[in-house]
Structure 1
Amino acid sequence: MTLIAAAIQAGAGRIELNDNLAVGGTTVSAGVMHAAVAVAHEHGVPVVAMIRPRGGDFVYTEAEIAVMVADLAVARDAGVDAVTFGALTRDGFLATTVMERLMAAAGNLPVVMHMAFDAIPAHAQAAAIDWLVAHNVVRILTHGGPLTTPITATLPHLQEIVGWAHGRIGILPGGGVTMDNVAMVTSTLDVSEAHGTKIVGQLTTGV
């Protein structure tokens, strides 16, 4: 948990708790979740838990959905402040029935839509935002395009997304945001927050 403490000391205002960052992030173990919440809350910093059973696409089987529902129960028990997940259909649209099941399992926890949003066809993203707003999702984490594209190149589409959101839901830019470009990204998009592992610089834990 020293890395979480180091991130907070370096200025992180919120922790998104992930395992397996090489595949885009998956759900951590129950033990890690409880310990991380304890450390972050000791410093008054909220924790958002990733609910994702595996890397790869966001089209989930019934067995995987059951795992996510169980993980949401763990997240509630651990005292996290919000959860983040996303589920899509095979043709890339929001899997609204699955999303509603997961939202019900989240209970009173605020829900964040993660970068599964970027896999939705661009022409359908405005409608997806409307659905997420109607279902009380609090934020959308988005790169504005494939993660292989630098965020400087996706800024025009991110500006479109911010426009579609029209202040009804938070838009959280992420993927390639660093301490060197975070001020430019947030000012260009007129947002107050950004997401990334490099925003607070190189972390040292003393280990």
Structure 2
Amino acid sequence: MYKEVALENFTKVPTAVLKGANRIELNDNLAVGGTSPSFGVLQETTKYLQEKSIPIVEMIRPRGGDFVYNDLEIKMMEADLFQAQKLGVDGVCFGALTKDGELDTDAMEQLIAASSGMQVVFHMAFDFLAEDNKKDAIDWLIDHDVERILTHGGPLTTPIDQTLDNIKKYIDYADGKITILPGGGINHQNCDEIAEKLGVKELHGTKIIAGIND
């Protein structure tokens, strides 16, 4: 099982690595679903994880709330992406939508272009897409070489055992062309069962390893 742990700042990173985290998604402000960490935190965390040969994915999100961004916010996200590039960050995690619940393809193309040399992950903005738009979004993300889609399969207020059918539907549709990474409500107690039901080898969560964020 490949376990990606979402963490806030550096504090719990060494413990997570010690307890078997395979990849770290670095955030600030997890209370709002994660925002971009500060440069100092990113720099030290990247250096630490590179020494341990553990990949790091940086959350690129200028604020909490929705995923509809204006030009200035896209510019901020681009600046964060260029910093991540310089530091040798392995992957970056972002998503941009239109007010109509579709992919903001213009913004996404800009952000993907600024992510050259790093893996790109489309985060749980995916769950805010209109259901009818999700298959087209998967196709677009595949065509633009996005590595993974992080999804809960529905609103985060719905327990994950009730959204597994949706996640399975996305996995089947993606057909191995892009990794569907389940997250939200996955912990060290239910992760094995969820992985078995979905037939996946990668999972994401804040509590996916015992003793971290419990």
- TM-score, scaled relative to structure 2: 0.93
For structure 1, the 5+ residue unaligned runs are none
Task: With a CA cutoff of 8 Å and minimum separation of 6, indicate the structure with the bigger relative contact order.
Answer: 2
**Any idea what the Cα deviations from partners look like across 1:158-207, whole Å, max 9, x if unmatched?**
11011111110001000000001001111111110100011111239xxx
- Cα distance in 1 between the residues matched to 2:117 and 2:12: 28
* Aligned CA-pair RMSD: 1.0
Q: What is the CA-CA distance between 1:49 and the residue it aligns to?
A: 0.4
**Any idea what the Cα deviations from partners look like across 1:15-63, whole Å, max 9, x if unmatched?**
0010000000000011111100111111110000010000000000111
- Runs of 4+ aligned residues of structure 1 deviating over 4 Å after TM superposition are none
1:55-74 matches, within 5 Å, as: 55-74=64-83
Match among 85, 90, 94 for residue 103 of structure 2: 94
Q: What is the CA-CA distance between 1:109 and the residue it aligns to?
A: 1.1
Structure with the larger strand share: 2
For structure 2, the 5+ residue unaligned runs are 1-9
- Cα distance in 2 between the residues matched to 1:203 and 1:68: 28
Instruction: Give 1:161's aligned amino acid.
Output: Y
Partner of 2:26: 17
SS at the partner of 2:163?
Answer: helix
1:114-125 matches, within 5 Å, as: 114-125=123-134
Match among 139, 161, 164 for residue 152 of structure 1: 161
1:53 lines up with 2:62 in the alignment:
yes
Q: What is the CA-CA distance between 1:2 and the residue it aligns to?
A: 4.4
Partner of 1:175: 184
**Any idea what the Cα deviations from partners look like across 1:69-90, whole Å, max 9, x if unmatched?**
1000111112110101000000
SS at the partner of 1:148?
Answer: coil
Report the CA distance shift for 1:158/1:94 in structure 2 as closer, same or farther (over 3 A). same
The 8 Å contact of residues 206 and 212 in structure 2, kept in 1 or not, is answered as: no
1:199 lines up with 2:208 in the alignment:
yes
Q: How many positions carry a matched residue from both structures?
A: 204
- Cα distance in 2 between the residues matched to 1:70 and 1:41: 22
- Cα distance in 2 between the residues matched to 1:3 and 1:139: 24
SS at the partner of 2:202?
Answer: coil
1:107 lines up with 2:112 in the alignment:
no
